Amino acid sequence: MPELPEVETIRRILEPALTGKRITGITMNKQKLRFPFPENFKKRLTGRTIHCIQRRAKYLLFYLDTKDILVAHLGMSGSFRLMSKQDLRVNAHDHVTFMTNTDTIVHYNDPRRFGFMDLVDSRKLNCHPMLRSLGPEPLSEYFNAEILINNLAKRKGAIKPALLDQKLIAGIGNIYACEALFRARLSPRRSAYNIRGKRAEYLVEAIKNVLIEAIEAGGATLRNHQDPDGKIGYFQNKFSVYGRDGKSCENCNCNHGIRKIIQSGRPTFFCSTHQK
DNA sequence: AGTAGCGCCTGCATGC
DNA sequence: TGCATGCAGGCGCTAC
């Protein structure tokens, strides 16, 4: 599923359901997802208690009572599903199942297997290859106009692909890049280094606001994905541009409406009248 | 050194 | 109906 708001939504559902619970068994029916599972995956997790669940960018971090952290990334199609033991049913693409010392079990489902799981020593979390070059968390105080301007200064290309670069800002994906640029009234084709001063301030505000609103809505649900508790988010109903090509722009009376273009091989949706 | 393109996978919508 | 094609919320690797 997952951009930052969707991963945060999942975290908020899993945390109360799993905190303090002990993993009593693990079932896996694939050797690897995107990458092989780490050595002794089952052994290192079985018997461990989950202390808390945090998030960094689009990664879920399960802190255990050992020094290990279970790092999980959902790729394009990963999801978690909470169930009780009496309803235990394995669906297609349930690749990992966690049993606990309570009635709670968790399935990790991922049809495309672009996600992955790893175990990392908590003291070395920031050295993990997938985490060490991540840029600032957009909802933290460390993400502000000054930082954004700095990070964009050396970028030659357009702003929209730059927003997808996790080294510059962590957690934004294709939907929220499009939505944030619409809110900031900035063209996705504008040069990244050209965003300074007020424009950078508007963009920072737009990014923070769209992410916060999406989290409050329980994330966006596309293609029948479900949250761990079986519910769906509804932010997809509040998209201003994503997937709305050919429709009219809510903020102007232009004739062209919302357009779809391809940037760096990925679709971008915008209104060329509203966004400059 | 920064950036575009490709590949990894499956499921779904579309069009013939 | 059946099949081929294109497309999808991510990201690392490669080649320029």
Q: What is the mean pLDDT of residues A225-234?
A: 88
Q: How far apart are CA A34 and CA A1, in angstroms?
A: 15
Nucleotides of strand C under 7 angstroms from a protein beta carbon: 7-12
Q: Decide: CB of A223 under 7 A of nucleic strand B.
A: yes
Number of structural domains in chain A: 2
Q: Which residues of A124-162 are buried (b: 16+ CB within 10 A; e: fewer)?
A: ebeebebbeebbbbbbeeebebebbbebbeebeebbbbb
A113 is catalytic: no
A122 and A172 co-located in one domain: no
Cα separations (Å) of A218 from A8, A49, A60, A232, A271? 9, 27, 16, 7, 26
Which residues does A161 contact at the CB level (< 8 Å), separation at least 6? A263, A264, A266
Q: Counting Cβ atoms within 10 Å, is residue A241 exposed (0-12), middle (13-18) or buried (19+)?
A: buried
The spacing between the Cα labelled CA in A237 and the C1' in C9, in angstroms, equals: 15
Mean model confidence pLDDT for chain A: 95
Q: What positions of strand B are covered by protein, i.e. any atom < 7 Å from a CB?
A: 1-6, 8-12
What is this structure's pTM?
A: 0.97
Residues 6 or more apart whose CB falls under 8 angstroms from that of A130 comprise: A59, A71, A73, A118
Residue A200: predicted pLDDT: 97
Q: Please report, as a single letter, which amino acid is at residue A66.
A: T
Give pLDDT, residue A120: 97
What CATH number has the domain bearing residue A37? 3.20.190.10
**pLDDT at A26 > cutoff 80:** yes
Domain that holds residue A259: 145-270
Same domain, A43 and A119: yes
Look up A138 and say whether it is catalytic. no
pLDDT in tens, A171-221: 999 999 999 999 999 999 999 999 999 999 999 999 999 999 999 999 999
The predicted structure's pLDDT at residue A145: 97
The residue from A58, A183, A199, A244 that is catalytic is: A58
Q: Poorest-confidence range of A80-84, A91-95, A231-235, A252-256? A: A252-256
If asked whether residues A248 and A152 sit together in one domain, one would say: yes
User: Domain boundary at A127, A158, A176, which?
Assistant: A127
Residue A135 domain-assigned?
A: no
* 3 state DSSP class of A162: helix
Vertex A3 angle, CA A225 and A56, to 5° = 125
State whether A119 and A158 are in the same domain.
Answer: no
Residue A140 lies in a domain: no
A266 is annotated as an active-site residue: yes
Is it the case that residue A51 has pLDDT exceeding 80?
yes
